[in-house]
Structure 1
Amino acid sequence: MSGKHYKGPEVSCCIKYFIFGFNVIFWLLGITFLGVGLWAWSEKGVLSNISSITDLGGFDPVWLFLVVGGVMFILGFAGCIGALRENTFLLKFFSVFLGIIFFLELTAGVLAFVFKDWIKDQLQFFINNNIRAYRDDIDLQNLIDFTQEYWQCCGAFGADDWNLNIYFNCTDANASRERCGVPFSCCTKDPAEDVINTQCGYDVRQKPELDQQETIHTKGCVPQFEKWLQDNLTIVAGVFIGIALLQIFGICLAQNLTGLVISSILETSGIVQHEDTETANEETIIC
């Protein structure tokens, strides 16, 4: 009788608790995003009137928080519980779900590069559609103002895009004081002024374009975004590559842990041969 002692493969606690710790943070961030989204909807009265979700003509930024938060919550929960309980179903779900997200991101990146002109047209349509709904939602209004201030732009391709909004168009039927104007976020900033002049864009589109440049940014947000992307291409590419590597790393760790758990279960059941067990023990890293 052999004097060798065969021991079943142990699950690496390094991998197990690394996945657990990482996903706890991910899970908490998901809860935070969901909480912020639901709080924003509560402040706008959406939770008390669900039908108002479809009333907004433009994009509601709250959806971004809810979708991102929901995905992070589901992924974090599956990875956290799957690693802690050594649940192969949740670990497989985590790795497959993360793999699908990675594939969608990769596909979107390739399509965006191949169909640049189509993406530009869709971006123009998206911005103009939200210009129409500028006054309909405070979150959308803040998002547009932030975009125009950050990129020092006005409209999709110029200030005249604000003619699409019922409060800023130049038609005779428009009795608004903002007629033929633009939002204050289009205005050039005076470093000497501490207080924002919210009326700086009034009547500005009644002036010739050269005169407009003294008061507002006349370049559109689409070309300004393209310029920003070109100027910061290295940083943007680095961020996307970092996210992709993190996702691949997470998938590999989850698959590794799943394999170790399955090997441990099979050995406990007496299905794995002792020779395979000894090899598995040598390759497994134990904290």
Structure 2
Amino acid sequence: MSRKHHHIKGAEVSCCVKYSLFGFNIIFWLLGAAFLSIGLWAWAEKGVLSNLSSITDLGGFDPVWLFIVVGGVMFILGFAGCIGALRENTFLLKFFSVFLGLIFFLELTAGILAFVFKDWIKDQLNLFINNNVKAYRDDIDLQNLIDFAQEYWSCCGAHGPDDWNLNMYFNCNDLNPSRERCGVPFSCCVKDPAEDVINTQCGYDVRLQGDLHRQKYIYTKGCVGQFEKWLQDNLIIVAGVFVGIALLQIFGICLAQNLVSDVRAIKANW
């Protein structure tokens, strides 16, 4: 009798593991809720929630999708991890650890494939940017994303300013009635430090001029090349961020598995 009592007391759930996992997941869950809320709010502002068929009308990538998908996954996993840790529910803990492990595996696979097929990735990035150049005026979030990228990386188009011929408003076709014909968005313009207010018309007619004249007013390098250069210059920081995310995922999986083992040990002594 005393021996059996000793085994029951010997198996117990570690409070440190339990509440560390709960704290880890509450942050994960709140971040997911924040991302999801931002995405849904942006959709509501654009009227997508009142007319779901408008999703298919977008010609390019809608950045809001990123918030909704990432936020949704984080919200579900964080919720499962929180409740699983608090209630010591092995099903939810396994769900959390398995899917977090699957995400880690997919990230690792994507990283390896990106290194092996970097030329194909470069072509896909070029195609992605050009498709979104075509849809530049179709969605305000997409427009802001492209403007941010061109300003941040000091670039214009996928390979150069002439990529803006793909957009119906900036096309140099003689039949194009747009005032922006043969121009580029203001985010392609070289910033004048003396100007406090952004001149949104700085790119008008700039592609009617020669290459030497363009260089004075707009960025002439493509965003694909500038992005590659930025990656090379910040390789340690980028790698550090990815390694940090991976370690956090492994930490979460280990905590969940330890808690599952503790709960199983207790049940085994019942």
TM-score by length of 1: 0.92
CA contact (8 A) 1:184 1:199 kept: yes
CA contact (8 A) 2:162 2:207 kept: yes
User: Aligned partner of 2:20: which letter?
Assistant: F
- SS state of the match for residue 155, structure 2? coil
Matches within 5 A, 1:79-90: 79-90=81-92
Partner residue of 1:197 out of 193, 196, 199: 199
Matches within 5 A, 1:75-224: 75-224=77-226
In the TM superposition, what is the alpha-carbon distance from 1:2 to its structure 2 partner? 6.3
In the TM superposition, what is the alpha-carbon distance from 1:29 to its structure 2 partner? 1.0
In the TM superposition, what is the alpha-carbon distance from 1:197 to its structure 2 partner? 0.4
Taking only aligned residues, the RMSD between alpha carbons, in angstroms, comes to: 1.2
Counterpart residue number, 2:53: 51
Counterpart residue number, 1:39: 41
In the TM superposition, what is the alpha-carbon distance from 1:249 to its structure 2 partner? 1.1
- What is the aligned residue count? 268
Matches within 5 A, 1:218-233: 218-233=220-235
CA contact (8 A) 2:18 2:259 kept: yes
- SS state of the match for residue 269, structure 2? helix
Structure 1: unaligned runs, 5 residues or longer:
269-287
Change in Cα spacing, 1:102 to 1:4, as seen in structure 2 (3 Å) is closer
CA contact (8 A) 2:24 2:252 kept: no
Change in Cα spacing, 1:100 to 1:2, as seen in structure 2 (3 Å) is closer
CA contact (8 A) 2:22 2:82 kept: yes
Counterpart residue number, 2:244: 242
TM-score by length of 2: 0.97
- Cα distance in 2 for partners of 1:109, 1:171 equals 41
Paired-residue identity, %:
81
Partner residue of 2:255 out of 239, 243, 253: 253
Counterpart residue number, 1:284: none
* CA deviation string 1:121-168 (max 9, x = no partner): 000000000000000000000000000000000000000000000000
In the TM superposition, what is the alpha-carbon distance from 1:4 to its structure 2 partner? 9.0
Structure 2: unaligned runs, 5 residues or longer:
none
CA contact (8 A) 1:133 1:165 kept: yes
- SS state of the match for residue 47, structure 1? coil
Change in Cα spacing, 1:3 to 1:206, as seen in structure 2 (3 Å) is closer
Change in Cα spacing, 1:10 to 1:2, as seen in structure 2 (3 Å) is closer
Change in Cα spacing, 1:261 to 1:5, as seen in structure 2 (3 Å) is closer
In the TM superposition, what is the alpha-carbon distance from 1:266 to its structure 2 partner? 1.3
Look at both structures and tell me which one has the larger radius of gyration over its CA atoms: 1
In the TM superposition, what is the alpha-carbon distance from 1:114 to its structure 2 partner? 0.4
* CA deviation string 1:203-223 (max 9, x = no partner): 001111111000000000000
In the TM superposition, what is the alpha-carbon distance from 1:245 to its structure 2 partner? 1.0
